[in-house]
Amino acid sequence: MSSVSPSVVFAPQLKVPATYMRGGTSKGVFFNLDDLPAAAQVAGAYRDALLLRVIGSPDPYGKHTDGMGGATSSTSKTVILSRSDDDSHDVNYLFGQVSIDQPFIDWSGNCGNLTAAVGSFAINNGLVDAARIPENGVCVVRIWQQNIGKTILASVPITNGEVQETGDFMLDGVTFPAAEVPIAFVAPVEPDEAVFPTGNIVDTLDVPGEGVFSVTMINSGIPTLFFNAADLGYTGTELQDAINGDSIALARFENLRLHGAVHMGLSPNIEAAKLSQHIPKIAFVSGPQEYTTSSGALINAESIDCHVRALSMGKLHHAMMGTAAVAIGTAAAIPGTLVNLSAGGGMKDAITFGHPSGTLKVGATAICTDAGQWQVEQVVMSRSARVLMEGVVRVPAPETC
């Protein structure tokens, strides 16, 4: 017998046009701003409640069974795009990192991986002026990243007037080949901003109960803390299970991250730092070593410059976040940082680093001014992207959530 009273009337679900896309090593649900319900077209509680329900958060079971999320930091993501009202850009890109087990969306940073999908979505949804799209060739989509106020250029291949998604470009961390999409992060640190918030290339971080550590604190792509793997008791070649299966280690990394956030000036105190899971990122580096990736591939030490492992939303990432790769490329280009030293030191315009799923090459152009301040002109890397599904996502209206 049904336990539902026949007198109870429930509202039907909303139908919201959406596209499910992979960008780099991440997946997310993409929306055209104009397709969202009117109340969700502006920032606020209604928008957050709607997107949380789309993803299936918060989920105490950690599965996202009742939503579009994949219950990992790489797959709990939403994107809202709109046509730019600035002639120097084509599209506005707003990113939301959705917490898995908390009713919270972090709007404080960018997703570099999903950036690779922004250009193709914008072209497919009429957000790029048709006159800028060649019949065959490359369309450089000028993206305004709203979360951090930066310009990104995505070079999207076009064949017969349509976005080309298929190709033979392999990105470690992604199973199948696709078309290559070069991404250029233009001036990820403005000339009037500090690449190193503390003014130091290497800082000393004293964390009660954990110890004293050398750390490079950098603000490029996304604020990131780089530690030496050996100082944390690691070789630097660890895969996900070695970290994510160790609750003590994860708690320690979070403690280091929170104290680093305060030291960088991102938060006034530890309690405030806990409110932002997205920034700063925390990573550890080591010199080049032979290792076996999560897919079983053997990577020779001679094929990489260094190793980098990074955590996102409290867990070791299965590959590398795009924004963290920007930080890695920047730090590698500046002599004396822990990333630069792990890669052998000296001036570098590009490095190839090892991560749990394989390797990634990232290049950066950084200059030191006469005043002794570092400036970053751009950071470049290649990703890929494709549409997984498009149509409508069905979701209960926030009033009924």
Query: Each residue of 70-91: pLDDT tens digit?
Result: 999 999 999 999 999 999 999 9
In the prediction, which pLDDT does 8 show?
79
Annotate 242-266 with b (16+ C-beta within 10 A) or e (fewer).
Answer: ebbeeeebbebbbebbbbbbebbeb
Catalytic residue list contains 306:
no
Annotate 155-175 with b (16+ C-beta within 10 A) or e (fewer).
Answer: bbbbeeeebbbeeebebbbbe
In the prediction, which pLDDT does 6 show?
63
Percent of the chain scored above 90 by pLDDT? 92
Residue 383 and residue 22 in contact, taking contact as beta carbons nearer than 8 Å: no
- Grouping H, G, I as helix, E, B as strand and the rest as coil, residue 232 is helix
CATH code given to domain 14-180+386-400: 3.10.310.10
pLDDT in tens, 173-190: 999 999 999 999 999 988
The active-site residue, picked from 68, 139, 320, 321, is 321
- Grouping H, G, I as helix, E, B as strand and the rest as coil, residue 66 is coil
Q: Tell how far CA 1 is from the center of its chain.
A: 48
Contacts of 200 (CB under 8 A, 6+ apart): 217
Catalytic residue list contains 321:
yes
pLDDT in tens, 133-167: 999 999 999 999 999 999 999 999 999 999 999 99
pLDDT in tens, 326-345: 999 999 999 999 999 999 99
Task: Give CATH superfamily name and number for 203-378.
Answer: Diaminopimelate Epimerase; Chain A, domain 1 (3.10.310.10)
Angle at the Cα of 28 from the Cα atoms of 130 and 60, rounded to 5 degrees: 160
Q: Which of 91-95, 291-295, 364-368 has the lowest mean pLDDT?
A: 364-368
- Grouping H, G, I as helix, E, B as strand and the rest as coil, residue 392 is strand
Mean pLDDT of all residues in 52-62: 97
Confidence check: pLDDT of 401 > 50 = no
Per the listing, tokens 């070593």 go with 289
Local confidence band at 353 (pLDDT 50, 70, 90 cut-offs): very high
Confidence check: pLDDT of 224 > 50 = yes
Residues of the chain with CATH 3.10.310.10: 14-180+386-400, 203-378
DSSP assignment of 182-230? EEEEEEEE-TTS-SSTTS-SSEEEEETTTEEEEEEEEEESEEEEEEETG
The active-site residue, picked from 111, 139, 313, 320, is 111
- Enter the tokens of residue 2: 């049904």
Residue 311 and residue 226 in contact, taking contact as beta carbons nearer than 8 Å: no
How distant, in Å, are the alpha carbons of 139, 261, 355, 363 from that of 182? 11, 31, 20, 11
pLDDT in tens, 382-399: 999 999 999 999 999 997
In the prediction, which pLDDT does 400 show?
45
In the prediction, which pLDDT does 2 show?
56
Percent of the chain scored above 70 by pLDDT? 98
